[in-house]
Amino acid sequence: MKISVIGCGYLGAVHAAAMAELGHDVVGIDVDERKIDALASGQAPFFEPGLPEILTSASASGRLTFSTDMAAVKGATVHFVAVGTPQKPGSYSADMTYVDAAVDGLLPYLQDGDLVVGKSTVPVGTASRLAAKVKDSAPGANLAWNPEFLREGFAVQDTISPDRLVYGVSPDPEVAGKSRALLNEVYAKALNEQTPLVVTDYATAELVKVSANAFLATKISFINAIAEIAEVTGGNVTELADAIGFDTRIGRRFLNAGIGFGGGCLPKDIRAFGARAEELGRGESLAFLKEVDAINLRRRQHVVDLVVEMLGGKAFEKRVAVLGLAFKPESDDIRDSPSLDIAVQLNGLGAIVRATDPEAIQNAHAKHPQLHFVDTVAEAVEDAEIVLLLTEWKEYRSILPQQIEGLVAGKQIIDGRNVLDSAQWRDAGWTYRAMGRP
Ligand code: UGA
């Protein structure tokens, strides 16, 4: 199958490389020349485990090319739209500029039988609007919506072997059948492996995506709300999560209390979903998502307050070590990262913050050059009066008190992700504080 992928960010670059890995002929398009140059030379423009390997093998096979010129999509039959839908400045809605520009840019090149496939996370109603646009300009081409559920850090595996496939197709049965057949060819490997497939209408496909993210965000904020109660009652939210998680109706995954969720998806998606509900006159249906957001943001404030308290009432001129800046481990993504937000807030209070991360320093520095970044844990903790573990990279989870106690000025640690062994740190004479557990 000849495929084009418009947008080569965290989603599109992985999608393009994975499609080529599956044997398709793929061209990836992006307006960012530096990104395209890197990808064309087989280099991943961001950190994603497994991506460099498939980029190298796909490029070597000749099945994967990249271009900044939209005309390069000519000859492809399936065109994936994988551009970003960030939060619109000054609003909770999604900024649709990039999706609209991608589809408008594609229109002149569409041929009879082509299929435009939306992957971006969009407000419900977008697909039918874009389908009409495609029909107007290229009557022989069609549109389907195929939301993406990949997790950063596992993006390659999630793309090649997704846990489900969703196709939102046209209300016209003939068009729907053709769209389905083309997508089945694209995803033949996953379908042969019995990956569940849901074929539905446009609105449902769009809603599946935002509902999934809203549910995940709600699950995390639920457990963080319980953590707030545990914090004032002496309960232990981790043991509680284990206990309720044994109920398979609840499940243990996404019940890790901590400093809350971040990233380029969950925070902006719940806001855009709420904003869309308000436009539809159903704001009250999703009003709870505002609470989910508020609980989430309170966790960051809680850590800042705790640091100030542990530093004796003020952070001014106190040395603070921050371990972890990415919004989660195995990623260099700092979009809406709770860890980086906490570091910035403490810096704003006059603390002398020294921050490190295995992969995210460059991105964090570009956004917040006022922070002081160091390459190693040893440099970060040197003379620190308090150490904050904020992103649970493997190398931070395995730190032992003995490794750093000769370096710090004060034996105080906040475990923002509840991943350290509290007894080990307390036995070594540290003041250890965690999220929602004693
Ligand atoms: C999320 C969804 O999980 C994907 O299914 C979806 O495709 C993607 O958004 C998207 O819309 O593109 P991702 O943003 O990569 O994926 O990250 P998650 O693994 O969902 O983690 C989100 C945040 O929640 C992270 O900051 C993480 O630290 C936090 N989290 C996660 C918790 O605080 N507790 C948990 O128990 C789990």
Query: How far apart are the CA of 266 and the centre of ligand 1, in A?
Result: 7
- The SS3 call for residue 168 is strand
Which of the residues in the chain have pLDDT under 70? none
What is the structure's pLDDT at 438?
87
DSSP 199: E
- Is the distance from CB of 410 to CB of 385 less than 8 angstroms? yes
Tokens encoding 10: 């965290």
121 lines ligand 1 (CB under 6 A): yes
129 lines ligand 1 (CB under 6 A): no
What distances in angstroms separate CA 385 from CA 110, 217, 358, one per listed residue? 61, 33, 22
Residue type for position 193: E
Tokens encoding 291: 């609470």
Residue type for position 114: D
330 lines ligand 1 (CB under 6 A): no
Residue nearest to atom 35 of ligand 1 (CA): 254
Could you report the per-residue pLDDT of 190-200, keeping only the tens digit for each?
A: 999 999 999 99
Could you report the per-residue pLDDT of 295-345, keeping only the tens digit for each?
A: 999 999 999 999 999 999 999 999 999 999 999 999 999 999 999 999 999
What is the structure's pLDDT at 395?
97
> What domains sit in the chain, N to C, each tagged with a CATH number?
2-195 (3.40.50.720), 210-293 (1.10.1040.10), 298-434 (3.40.50.720)
Ligand 1 atom with the smallest distance to the CA of 392 is 28
Selecting among 58, 78, 265, 311, the annotated active-site residue is 265
Query: How far apart are the CA of 261 and the centre of ligand 1, in A?
Result: 7
Ligand 1 atom with the smallest distance to the CA of 10 is 12
pTM: 0.97
Residue nearest to atom 29 of ligand 1 (CA): 261
Residue type for position 431: T
146 lines ligand 1 (CB under 6 A): no
Query: How far apart are the CA of 329 and the centre of ligand 1, in A?
Result: 11
If you write DSSP's letter for every residue of 292-319 in order, what string do you get? HHHHHHHHHHHHHHHHHHHTTS--TT-E
Residue nearest to atom 13 of ligand 1 (CA): 151
Phi, then psi, of 397 in degrees rounded to 5:
-65, -30
Best substitution site from 14, 220, 435 to test ligand 1's pocket, by max atoms within 8 Å of Cβ?
220
Tokens encoding 130: 């874009």
Q: What is d(CA 247, CA 167) in angstroms, rounded to the nearest whole number? A: 31
Query: How far apart are the CA of 244 and the centre of ligand 1, in A?
Result: 21
220 lines ligand 1 (CB under 6 A): yes
- Our answer to whether residue 265 is catalytic in this structure is yes
